Amino acid sequence: MSAEPYSAVSLIAAKRDGRELSDSEIGWLIESYLAGSVAEEQMAALLMAVYFNSMSDQELVSLTRAIVDSGERMDLSRLSRPTVDKHSTGGVGDKVSLILAPMLAAVGAAVPQLSGRGLGHTGGTLDKLESIPGWRSALSPSEIMRNLDRVGCVICAAGAGLAPADRRLYALRDVTATVESIPLIAASIISKKLAEGTSALLLDVKVGRGAFMKSLERAEELARTMVDLGQRFGVATKAVLTAMDDPLGRAVGNALEVEEALEVLSGGGPADLVELCVELARTMAELAGLDADPRRTLSDGSAMDHFRAMVAAQGGDVEAQLPRAKFVERFSAAEAGYVSSVDAMRVGEVAWRLGAGRDRKEDPVSATAGVICLAKAGDRVAKGQPLFEIHADDPARLAGARAGLQRALRIAGSPPSPQPLILGRLG
Ligand code: URA
């Protein structure tokens, strides 16, 4: 007779038939999956049952807790600064983390930004920072604490000890077409933030053709689920829904995005990127209980000082030139008119195919490949005016990039109506 309290088959059948699983059943499933006594195919079947039947609020809390309990939890309570973090569901040209973390540190917060790498058409924060010579993403828990204490912000890889169940579950979701389940996404994202130990959290849920969530309705559902979940665990959580139809800023690609982030930290940069950073930074400061205007940190140089200190604390050479691609080519307008849209998904795919992104998580990425959008929606362009700059290490990839960018941009006879960047707020 089995000594196990439950049978995986019975729990899969229960979830398949719409019965709510208890806290102890969910805890057992996750623990047994990690221990190897619940098989991959059983967990795959359970994930598919969740995909179709969703989860109750109580099940979601239990799953999130079980994922957190599968590993270590950082204790940031001895820091003298209030902690606040941000999570973006991912977009094209989204280099916001590189700017926000030092902005918040400059107004007195501690930002423990444990980040991931990019997959597919969206870039990863760690890949971007790795284009800075010497910068390293792997830090020990004591280094993270020291840098949070001294600098106020850290962007680094989440250690293997944090939420290990999420790593296993995510890999399985990836190969079983169950990534898109809202409760599974919410549990995955919130569990990692709980394990990281932040007291406040802002979720930037991207909506549009370049985002994971294509419709406002789905994005709102995901945002509401994550805000409720974070709050249930005592984390001050808010969400902002932001447009991701067109790339954010102009640069798409690892070193190119670091360069653009440096422009913003120097008080310049594209208007949409600056607007979003200021908006998110204000909300994060509020969540952290700080009465400060983070916009001034861009004009007075204090955000830049914190960025340089953060990079140097992780071995990065802040004086070094960022690497440049060997081949840079411009792509020009075939007709005059107004740019009505620049398709973020298509630009993201071009940058990915140039080498800026990866197909599988173990693949390397190019630091230098990518695209600069010289024209943005609403701009008036003349025939022959450059629209994009293509950066490639391999000239054989230029033709494919030109063809992809041709399909990404639309030119019309009249200017498009301006689209808001902030589509909603929750929490
Ligand atoms: N990002 C995560 O961390 N988890 C998901 O499930 C989806 C996006």
Question: What does the pLDDT look like over 61-89, one tens digit per residue?
Answer: 999 999 999 999 999 999 999 999 999 99
CATH code assigned at 242: 3.40.1030.10
Q: What is the pLDDT of residue 360?
A: 79
Among residues of the chain, what percentage have pLDDT more than 70? 99
**Active-site choice (65, 192, 250, 358):** 192
Same domain assignment for residues 305 and 391: no
**pTM metric for this prediction:** 0.95
221 to 181, 228, 239: CA distances (angstroms): 11, 11, 11
Q: Label residue 361 by pLDDT band (50, 70, 90).
A: confident
Q: What is the pLDDT of residue 55?
A: 98
d(CA 352, CA 341): 20
Q: What is the pLDDT of residue 2?
A: 58
β-strand 236-243 against 153-157: which pairing, if any? unpaired
- Residue tagged 């079983």 (tokens): 176
Q: What is the pLDDT of residue 204?
A: 98
Nearest to 127 by CA among 113, 116, 141, 138: 116
For CA atoms 49, 55, 61, 62, the dihedral sign is negative
Nearest to 88 by CA among 232, 312, 273, 258: 273
Same domain assignment for residues 281 and 240: yes
More confident residue, 121 or 17: 17
Q: What is the pLDDT of residue 363?
A: 84
Which token pair is 194? 């709980």
Assigned domain for 116 exists: yes
Residue type at position 139 = L
Q: What is the pLDDT of residue 116?
A: 80
Q: Which of 115, 179, 188, 191 to mutate to test the pocket of ligand 1 (most atoms within 8 A of CB)?
A: 188
For CA atoms 320, 396, 350, 353, the dihedral sign is negative
Nearest to 33 by CA among 137, 171, 179, 185: 171
Is 182 in contact with 54 (CB distance < 8 Å)?
yes
The DSSP string of 229-253 is: HHHHTT-EEEEEEEE-SS-SSSEES
Same domain assignment for residues 370 and 230: no
At 227-251, the pLDDT tens digits run: 999 999 999 999 999 999 999 999 9
Mean pLDDT, residues 25-40: 98
Question: Is 87 a catalytic site residue?
Answer: yes
Question: Is 204 a catalytic site residue?
Answer: no
Which token pair is 22? 């208890």
Same domain assignment for residues 250 and 290: yes
Distance of CA 194 to the CA centre of its chain: 16
Ligand 1, atom 6, lies closest to the CA of: 185
Q: How far is the CA of 56 from the centre of ligand 1 (A)?
A: 19
pLDDT of 58 higher than 80:
yes
Region label for 150, one of left (φ > 0), alpha (ψ between -120 and 50) or beta (otherwise)? alpha
Assigned domain for 397 exists: yes
Same domain assignment for residues 297 and 339: no
| Segments forming the whole domain that contains residue 370 | 327-412
Mean pLDDT, residues 366-374: 97
Helices (H) and strands (E) counted in the chain, each on its own, are: 16, 13
Question: Is 340 a catalytic site residue?
Answer: no
CATH code assigned at 380: 3.90.1170.30
Assigned domain for 74 exists: no
Q: How far is the CA of 154 from the centre of ligand 1 (A)?
A: 20
Q: What is the pLDDT of residue 8?
A: 98
Same domain assignment for residues 309 and 341: no
Compute φ and ψ for 213, nearest 5 degrees: -100, 115
More confident residue, 101 or 90: 101
What's the number of domains the chain is made of? 2
243 to 199, 271, 344, 422: CA distances (angstroms): 26, 14, 10, 6
pLDDT of 97 higher than 70:
yes
Total residue length of the chain: 427
Same domain assignment for residues 234 and 356: no
Is 9 in contact with 45 (CB distance < 8 Å)?
no
Final residue belonging to a domain, choices 289, 313, 337? 313
At 297-355, the pLDDT tens digits run: 999 999 999 999 999 999 999 999 999 999 999 999 999 999 999 999 999 999 999 99
